[in-house]
Amino acid sequence: MAEVQSFDNLLAFRNLLKASVDNSTALALALDKTGPRIAELDQKLTFLEMAIRPGGSKNCTFAAVRDHISLALGPSAAVLKILDSIRELEKSLLSDSLLHSDIFSYISTIKQFEDAIKFLTANCNLAIQWLEGVIQFLEGNSVADDRYISKVKRSVAILEELQATGEQAGRNGELLSGAFAKLEISFKQILTESSAPLSFTNSSSPWTAEQAYNAALPLPGPILRKLQAIVEKLNTGNRTNSCISVFIEVRSLNAKNSLRALDLDYLENAVEKYDDVQDMEGCIHEWSKHMEFIVKCVLESEHMLCKEVFGSLASGAWTGCFAKIAVESGILLFLRFGMSIAESKKSPTKLLHLLNIFSVLETLRMDFNKLFGGESCNEIKTMTRDFVTKVVNGASEIFWELPLQVELERRSSPPSDGGVPRLVSFVTDYCNRLLDDNYRPILTQVLRIHQGWKYEKYEEGLVTNQIYSIVREIAVNLDAWSKAYERKALSYIFMMNNHCHFTSLKGTKLGNLMGDSWLNAHGNYKEYYSALYLRETWGKILASLTQDNPDSSPKMRLMAFNEAFDDMYKKQLNWVVIDESLTNKMHKLVVQALVPAYTSYLQKYRVVVEHRSDVFYTVQSLETMLNTLFKAKQVKYTSSTIGSHLTGEQRNAVIDQLRFTLTAM
């Protein structure tokens, strides 16, 4: 009775397994045509049933066979149920509707499919183990002959093949690869549609922290979560390389588009192409604003986005991703432009350019450390380090050479009109700029860094002492230049003008540095040389009227005075006095010295004058002529901007001469 019951159980198991196999045939074909194998397994199980019918080994009990078959039944049934689930998941993965409507559900379906494949292979393994137990039992108890045992072994082989197929599908099967490919396409589409270039505000004011933060905000939160989910899923399949390449391509183009609206042609031009130093100054000003924009906004945004999207990858791939985007964006082109200025010929104006550049780099120092601190950005780090080194060394060298440069200009000739030499006006304006609140802190920091690199202690007052040396050399130059004039009167005008120029520095940074006693001394010298000029020129002419000479008649003295006046006037016609108030004062002094005496003389010898009125100046004509003195075409020297008081040709002549001096040293 027990034997019949065991046989009935086996028959029921066989019918259940066959029905399940029939229901899963279609899906099994989709999994590399493993369905026929399962059908064959079903057939082999039928033979297994026949192999254990009554008539086998007398020593084998059907109860023992029943136990082994029962244990193999559970995993085998699970395999069939999993195949049904895989068939439904496959339909979802092959359809694009779910992918487009809900990317998160699609990713979840991929995970369910992967889990189902893993569960399938696990249950295949378990069923195989129990069937192998059945084989061992049959072989050990002679329940069936070798033909039936061979068929059971064939069934085990079919399950093993199904297990291998599942493992293959779980690794890189066609269906799973296709799903991953769809995720990659969706990643590019989402990223491309959501990427928009940043707009640059052409403002002279630096970027505020709030502006930089708002500009650096990456994509909206929902978009970021989609990209992150795709990357995490692709990472489980080792498929992130393509995703990273797409990200670099899309975001590099976005960064370039952010800069495309800017006029960056100047970055391509060599420094030698700029004929006017003001052109270079304007380019550096633009460069400084654009540099802040690309670092604080464009690259900050890309850095944040790379970390947000790929930060979960254990490989740290996001840093390499950002490094490539930074290079593609054009940051190296900005660095090369600054490097070309640092490597250009020496000139005083170049020092100001280098200080402006250093100021920008110092403002961005923390940003550079944050963005380019990793090994992936070694190219940018190396170029930046070399750039900073050349800026600091170049600025320091020019600054230390300034006094010697001024000294070497001593061999040049003074102005023919007695005005202020262009070099003097240039250097005093230049010193004022070095001392103002924009440049002095930067210059001090540059010198402190340079001294530190040489392991030398930075001494406070170093900048001040160097300015003193420059001014001292200017004073020595003025003394030398004044001796180059053939006419003493013109040398006095020259010294009067230059002392007036120094006096006008009151209230400036240079004037405050030199102090009131220095300014007052120049004021006194101005008065001193004014007196010498009057005595040397109009004083001598006036003596011909006021001194009695028994050997000459009044008419002769008057004629001599007019001739001397005419000669003196012609000599001074092209002389200049740079300060308008000083010009008015000189007019007043000359008129006060000559006109009353001349008027008195004419009145005293009225008969002579009336007799020869055609050869003598009238009082009115004399005064009119005196008021036209010192008004020759002249250049204003009161600008607070270095070089702006000179025409382009004049300014470049001064700069070129100083550059030649520096380069020759």
Q: How far apart are CA 113 and CA 233, in angstroms?
A: 13
Examine residue 175 and state whether it is found in any structural domain, yes or no.
Answer: no
Q: Same domain, yes or no, for 157 and 297?
A: no
Q: How far apart are CA 554 and CA 13, in angstroms?
A: 157
* Residue 67: C-alpha distances to residues 64, 134, 137, 151, 204 (Å): 5, 9, 11, 20, 88
Assess contact for 265 and 282: CB atoms under 8 A.
Answer: no
Q: Does an H or E element contain 21, and which? A: helix 2-23
Q: Same domain, yes or no, for 158 and 222?
A: no
| Domain boundary, last residue among 327, 355, 383 | 355
* pLDDT tens column, 646-663: 344 444 544 455 444 444
Q: Same domain, yes or no, for 331 and 242?
A: yes
pLDDT at 552 over 70: no
Examine residue 517 and state whether it is found in any structural domain, yes or no.
Answer: no
Q: Same domain, yes or no, for 79 and 209?
A: no
Backbone angles phi, psi at 631, to 5 degrees: -115, 25
Look up the pTM and report it.
0.74
Backbone angles phi, psi at 576, to 5 degrees: -125, 155
Assess contact for 230 and 242: CB atoms under 8 A.
Answer: no
Measuring CA to CA, which residue among 356, 543, 540 is closest to residue 446?
356
- How would residue 89 be classed by pLDDT, with cut points 50, 70 and 90? low
- Among 34-43, 164-173, 221-230, 279-288, the range with the most confident prediction by mean pLDDT is 221-230
* pLDDT tens column, 94-147: 776 666 678 888 887 778 777 776 666 666 666 666 566 666 666 666 555 566
Q: How far apart are CA 96 and CA 212, in angstroms?
A: 40
Q: Same domain, yes or no, for 123 and 269?
A: no
| Domain boundary, last residue among 313, 329, 355 | 355
Angle between helices 516-536 and 488-503 (to 10 degrees): 160
Q: Same domain, yes or no, for 219 and 348?
A: yes
- How would residue 608 be classed by pLDDT, with cut points 50, 70 and 90? low
pLDDT at 613 over 90: no
Examine residue 529 and state whether it is found in any structural domain, yes or no.
Answer: no
pLDDT at 11 over 60: no
Assess contact for 27 and 84: CB atoms under 8 A.
Answer: yes
Burial of 54 (0-12, 13-18, 19+ CB in 10 A): exposed
pLDDT of residue 202: 62
Examine residue 419 and state whether it is found in any structural domain, yes or no.
Answer: no
pLDDT at 514 over 50: yes
Q: How far apart are CA 14 and CA 18, in angstroms?
A: 6
Examine residue 189 and state whether it is found in any structural domain, yes or no.
Answer: no
Examine residue 577 and state whether it is found in any structural domain, yes or no.
Answer: yes
Tell me which of 37-46, 112-121, 280-289, 624-633 is least confident. 37-46
Residue 286: give the domain boundaries: 198-355
| Domain boundary, last residue among 339, 355, 371 | 355
pLDDT of residue 28: 41
From first CA to last CA, the distance across the chain in angstroms is 120
Mean pLDDT over all residues of the chain?
78
Examine residue 70 and state whether it is found in any structural domain, yes or no.
Answer: yes
Can you tell me whether residue 505 is helix, strand or coil?
coil
Radius of gyration of the chain (CA): 49
CA 107 to centroid of chain Cα atoms? 39
* Residue 51: C-alpha distances to residues 41, 143, 149 (Å): 15, 7, 8
Q: What is the CATH number of the domain that holds 75?
A: 1.20.58
* pLDDT tens column, 390-410: 999 999 999 999 999 999 999
pLDDT at 58 over 50: no
* pLDDT tens column, 491-509: 999 999 999 999 999 999 9
pLDDT of residue 175: 72
pLDDT of residue 41: 47
Q: Same domain, yes or no, for 207 and 345?
A: yes
Q: How confident is the model over 232-241, as a mean pLDDT?
A: 85
- How would residue 173 be classed by pLDDT, with cut points 50, 70 and 90? low
pLDDT of residue 299: 94
Q: Does an H or E element contain 368, and which? A: helix 365-371
* pLDDT tens column, 255-280: 999 998 888 888 887 655 555 555 68
* pLDDT tens column, 467-489: 999 999 999 999 999 999 999 99
Q: What is the CATH number of the domain that holds 586?
A: 1.20.1280.170
pLDDT of residue 336: 94
pLDDT of residue 32: 43
Total domains present in the chain: 3
Backbone angles phi, psi at 219, to 5 degrees: -70, 160
Q: Same domain, yes or no, for 128 and 246?
A: no
Q: Same domain, yes or no, for 148 and 220?
A: no
Examine residue 563 and state whether it is found in any structural domain, yes or no.
Answer: yes
pLDDT of residue 145: 58
In the chain, how long is the greatest CA-to-CA distance? 178
Q: Same domain, yes or no, for 265 and 205?
A: yes
* pLDDT tens column, 517-551: 999 999 999 999 999 999 999 888 888 777 666 66
Q: Same domain, yes or no, for 237 and 123?
A: no
Q: Same domain, yes or no, for 122 and 212?
A: no
Q: How far apart are CA 332 and CA 340, in angstroms?
A: 12
**Hey, how many other C-beta atoms are within 10 angstroms of the C-beta on 292?**
18
Q: In the structure encoding, which two tokens stand for residue 221, read together?
A: 């939160």
Q: How far apart are CA 303 and CA 308, in angstroms?
A: 9
Assess contact for 182 and 99: CB atoms under 8 A.
Answer: yes
